[in-house]
Amino acid sequence: MSYTVKIKEEISTIKSTKSELIAELSAYIRNNGTITKKEITLPTENHFIVERVKESIELIYDIEVKEETISNLNFSKKPLYQIIIDQKLDKIIEDLCLNNDTVPEYIVGGNEEIRAYLRGAFLSSGSINDPKTSRYHMEILAIHPEEAVFIQKLLNIFDLNAKILSREKGYMIYIKEAEKISDFIKLLGANKAVMYYEDVRIYRDQKNKTNRLNNCEQANMDKVFSTANEQLHQIEIIEENDGVMLLDDRTKVALEYRKKYPEASLKELAEIISLETSKPLTKSGISHRMRKIKELAERFEKNKETK
């Protein structure tokens, strides 16, 4: 079972008031229904959604809702169910404002009704990537631009930073930020799904932080080894040209300790020299001595090129 299906199954069990069910049904049918003079049809691959819609319609309108299994054209092995409403159509269409381009305010009169409307839209055409995947992503698809803008507006009432992208067959309202997606799942009322999402997100964030630290540490080690190898090469040039005698005593000490501890960083080298010679030496001090070694090696190389 996908993460999206788990969320939809969880929110399908939420106990709702009549006004909340009206908002939820309005969103679900507006974004998933086909309305004719004879009936309203609603396809879905999830039977728990069938039960949710049937119970809601029968509770509010006291009618019997039909259900059938139809061919699934999405190349899925799952059966495709279809809900059929063929009674009290005029009243249902009027109550749920299904023929309106825009949703009247009374459908989403309070925060609970807004949450219910968003639940219906998500049950209809929403999806959320499992947080274990490579990217965080939530989307709801809408056929009509007015509906897309309306859903975006409702989402952004809760500061979710939802955006719209035009697609070939409609519009995608989406959220990319991990924390905002988590807030949206809370908004839907899917508490179990939120706990899972947060656990995985925290684990991923910690893992990424650890990887960044490890990469940074590895980069620092690579830099230390590269610097040390350059210094050893410079020392080799000086020794080949019998130039050690041209260095002052303190730089000669640095040269010998670099040869003795070829893998030490400059900070470590300064600490070792300070400890073994009882003469305090800072990282800045050892860097200064290494610059003298480098300058002498470069002089020998330059003289070699001019000959």
pLDDT over 70 (residue 166): yes
Of 142, 174, 189, the residue at which a domain comes to its end is 189
What domain range is 99 assigned to? 3-189
For residues 92 and 143, membership in a common domain is answered with yes
Q: Are residues 180 and 225 in the same domain?
A: no
Determine, yes or no, domain membership for 128: yes
**Assigned domain for 210 exists:** no
Asked if residue 77 has pLDDT above 70, the reply is no
Residues 224 and 131 in one domain: no
Do residue 95 and residue 145 come from a single domain?
yes
Within-domain flag for 206? no
Contacts of 76 (CB under 8 A, 6+ apart): 45
Residues 223 and 300 in one domain: yes
- The pLDDT assigned to 75 comes to 60
Q: Are residues 78 and 160 in the same domain?
A: yes
> Do 146 and 226 fall into the same domain?
no
Chain centre to alpha carbon of residue 265: 38
- Strand extents, DSSP E, the chain: 34-35, 40-44, 66-70, 80-85, 126-128, 138-142, 163-167, 170-175
Question: Average of pLDDT values for 101-109?
Answer: 87
Query: Is 80 exceeded by the pLDDT of residue 174?
Result: yes
Which residue, 189, 207, 233, sits at the end of a domain?
A: 189
Place of tokens 């509010």: 60
Q: What's the CATH code of the domain at 16?
A: 3.10.28.10
> Tokens 């030490």 — which residue?
264
Q: Are residues 252 and 159 part of one domain?
A: no
The reply to whether 226 and 181 lie within a common domain is no
Last residue of a domain, one of 171, 189, 207: 189
Give the mean model confidence (pLDDT) for residues 87-111. 89
Q: Does residue 196 form part of some domain? A: no
More confident residue, 79 or 249: 249
Domain count along the chain:
2
pLDDT tens-digit series, residues 255-280:
999 998 888 888 888 999 998 888 89
DSSP state of 77: S
Reported as half-sphere exposure (CB side, CA atoms, 13 A), residue 24 has a value of 26
Average pLDDT over residues 118-132: 93
Rg (CA), the chain: 35
| pLDDT for residue 76 | 62
Q: Are residue 130 and residue 261 in the same domain, yes or no?
A: no
User: 137 with 7, same domain?
Assistant: yes
User: What are the pLDDT digits (tens) for 46-73?
Assistant: 999 999 999 999 999 999 888 888 876 6
For residues 163 and 222, state if they share a domain.
Answer: no
State how far Cα 217 lies from the chain centre: 25
Is 197 part of any domain?
A: no
What percent of the chain lies above the pLDDT cut of 90? 60
Q: How confident is the model at residue 206 (pLDDT cuts 50, 70, 90)?
A: confident
Asked if the structure places residue 173 within a domain, the reply is yes
In a domain, 264, yes or no: yes
Cα–Cα distance between 125 and 140 in angstroms, integer? Answer: 5
Instruction: Judge contact between 274 and 281, C-beta under 8 A.
Output: yes
3-state SS class at 307: coil
Model-level pTM? 0.68
Mean pLDDT taken over the chain: 89
- Phi and psi at residue 209, in whole multiples of 5°? -65, -45
